[in-house]
Structure 1
Amino acid sequence: MMAFHVLLLVVVPSFIALGLWQYERAETKAAVVELQEANLAADPVPIEELTSVGGEVAPEDRWRRVTVTGTYDPDRELLVRNRSGSGGVGMHVLTPLVTEDGTAVLVNRGWVAQPPTATESPEVPPAAQGEVTVTGRLQVSETPESTGIHSRDGLPEGQIMLIDVPAIAADLPYEVYGGYVELVEETPAPAAAPEPVEVTKVNTGMNFSYAVQWWTFTVIAVGGWVFLVRREVQDAAQKSEPAEPDTVSSTTPNKV
């Protein structure tokens, strides 16, 4: 019984702490959802209001819609591997859009299906020719820490794993704005285009559920402890009660 008491002293605080941890994660995700919804609903603004050449996108500006006008540079287009779309795993098409002053913005034009083999190139609708005005969602540069994706060697030419804007910009002949843009619409509209990238919704329900589960385990553990303690007390009380005296029954001697 003593071992059970010690175990309970370890388990109950652990369950409570795990529940609080999951609850805090749910609260953090809920704040992200609120920011996401607010930014997606905001009116588009010129990209230079939220980021700059060689700068970074502030976390609170992620998902804000921005506008930028320029000309695509298809010769320096990149394909981002292992991205999900309606057809499963495929690639995102990342194309620099060069503005009038010679600076550029990386535009994620959308999703295309995976080619049959790793050495083949997918079918990619060509970028629009001439000057276009792009409206899209501003995103922060990707890192292994923020995505769980790691770069690797040996990829086919023109293919990458991460949209690491500073690394990509280092290989381009012009200066590049911080962050990148997920294309929502462009004017004039092209005859064909990759599948638009969908907004990834943040799910908070699982963390709230896990928090409730840990706290339920806490209640069960305490309830089990109370039940066992009461049973031990009852057993001890029964053992300590004096035994009732035996009643000697008188018997009538047999007559011979």
Structure 2
Amino acid sequence: MYRFLLSRQWVILTLLGLALIPAMIELGFWQLHRHESRVAHNELISSSLRARPVPFDRLSSPGHGPAEDEQFRTAKATGRYDTGHEVVVRQRTGADEKSIGYFVLTPLIQDDGSAVLVNRGWIEAGGDLTRFPDVPAPPRGKVTVTGRVMADETSEASGIKDKRGLPPRQVMLINSRQQAATLDRPVLRGYLQLTSTSPKPAGGQPERIPEPDHSSIGAHMAYAVQWWLFAAGVPVGWVILVRRERRDRAEASGTGSAAAAATAKGGETGVTGGSDEAGSGDDPENAAPSTPPAGIPSSAD
């Protein structure tokens, strides 16, 4: 009845289904782990943003960057801006996530001589990308800046290629190690993403970077459920196909048997009819009267 399952076509189909089931289950767990990671990341950002501000040098030093669970936390630093070593970070988007421009990265020199990198915000790129853009000047004198603690950017983590041969004072990554090579002083690892300055600057300043999104969790959980439903659907689909194949084969077999029976019956009927006709002609009792022999008067006489 189910011998067709041993055919090459059905063996391949069955093995394919058996391979797809664990693969789809694993893909579902992969999406689940991404969902859990996203939720944990959002909780980290939310708790860090709610935490009380702390001095930046408590979270970072020239030899060690801020811990992973300290990222996005609000921190403060006091010092004077060093505009002579200010650089711009290329190919960054503004708050609308459409316009391409620069981040303005300015070292803040603390009283102990160490430097804190401050991302003061975003400016438009302008027409000539080979020259240093017009950057709004930071406040003069000693200031206290407040910002979100960020880890150094790397090509591996950000996906941004660190290009060489750029115009002067232009970089691709915000990286304290790279900037320490140009500053003749120790630089604290990581940087501050500016949120406020005291005293407030008088003139226009770069566009502030909005706080990171920590409410969206994406569709990873929906994708996980989808993969698991696909995995459950494979055996169901296999059973449906098997039953359909069995029904089609049974119908084809029944149609063939009926046709063969009809053909056989028709042959027997033809043979029987021919024998009866031949017999009726040879049977003396059924034969028509022959002409009477000579000398015997016919009834007509």
* TM-score above 0.5, yes or no: yes
**Contact 2:95–2:209 (CA under 8 A) maintained in structure 1:** no
- Match for residue 189 of structure 2? 178
TM-score using structure 2 length: 0.76
Of 43, 66, 80, 1:71 maps to 80
Structure whose residues are more often strand by fraction: 1
- Match for residue 221 of structure 2? 208
Shift of 1:55: 1.7
**Contact 2:132–2:170 (CA under 8 A) maintained in structure 1:** no
Shift of 1:218: 2.1
CA distance in 2, matches of 1:79, 1:12: 51
The one-letter amino acid of 1:137's match is R
Of 116, 135, 141, 2:146 maps to 135
The one-letter amino acid of 2:84's match is D
CA distance in 1, matches of 2:41, 2:82: 34
**Contact 1:115–1:121 (CA under 8 A) maintained in structure 2:** no
Shifted more, 86-95 versus 108-117: the winner is 86-95
The one-letter amino acid of 1:67's match is K
CA distance in 2, matches of 1:29, 1:167: 30
The one-letter amino acid of 2:232's match is V
- Report 1 or 2 for greater relative contact order, CA contacts < 8 Å, sequence distance ≥ 6: 1
- Match for residue 232 of structure 1? 245
TM-score using structure 1 length: 0.89
- Match for residue 197 of structure 1? 209
SS in 2 for 1:231: helix
The one-letter amino acid of 1:200's match is P
Of 205, 223, 231, 2:236 maps to 223
Of 2, 5, 24, 2:33 maps to 24
- Match for residue 91 of structure 1? 102
Shift of 1:150: 1.4
Shift of 1:184: 0.3
Shift of 1:69: 0.6
2:49 pairs with 1:40:
yes
The one-letter amino acid of 2:134's match is E
Equivalent runs, 1:115-126 vs 2, <5 Å:
115-126=126-137
SS in 2 for 1:178: coil
CA RMSD across the alignment: 2.4
Shifted more, 212-221 versus 99-108: the winner is 212-221
CA distance in 2, matches of 1:3, 1:21: 27
Of 18, 24, 37, 1:15 maps to 24
Deviations, residues 61-95 of structure 1 (Å, cap 9, x unaligned)? 00000011100000000100111103611110000
SS in 1 for 2:190: strand
The one-letter amino acid of 1:195's match is E
2:68 pairs with 1:59:
yes
The unaligned stretches of length 5 or more in structure 2 are 1-9, 266-301
The one-letter amino acid of 2:178's match is A
CA distance in 2, matches of 1:218, 1:104: 55
Shift of 1:99: 0.6
CA distance in 1, matches of 2:154, 2:18: 41
SS in 2 for 1:135: strand
Deviations, residues 157-187 of structure 1 (Å, cap 9, x unaligned)? 0000001211211220111111100000000
Equivalent runs, 1:142-181 vs 2, <5 Å:
142-181=153-192
Shift of 1:195: 0.5
CA distance in 1, matches of 2:41, 2:245: 50
- Match for residue 279 of structure 2? none
Aligned residues: 250
The one-letter amino acid of 1:38's match is S
Shift of 1:232: 3.4
The structure having more radius of gyration, on CA atoms, is 2
Shifted more, 184-193 versus 78-87: the winner is 78-87
Identity of aligned residues (%): 41
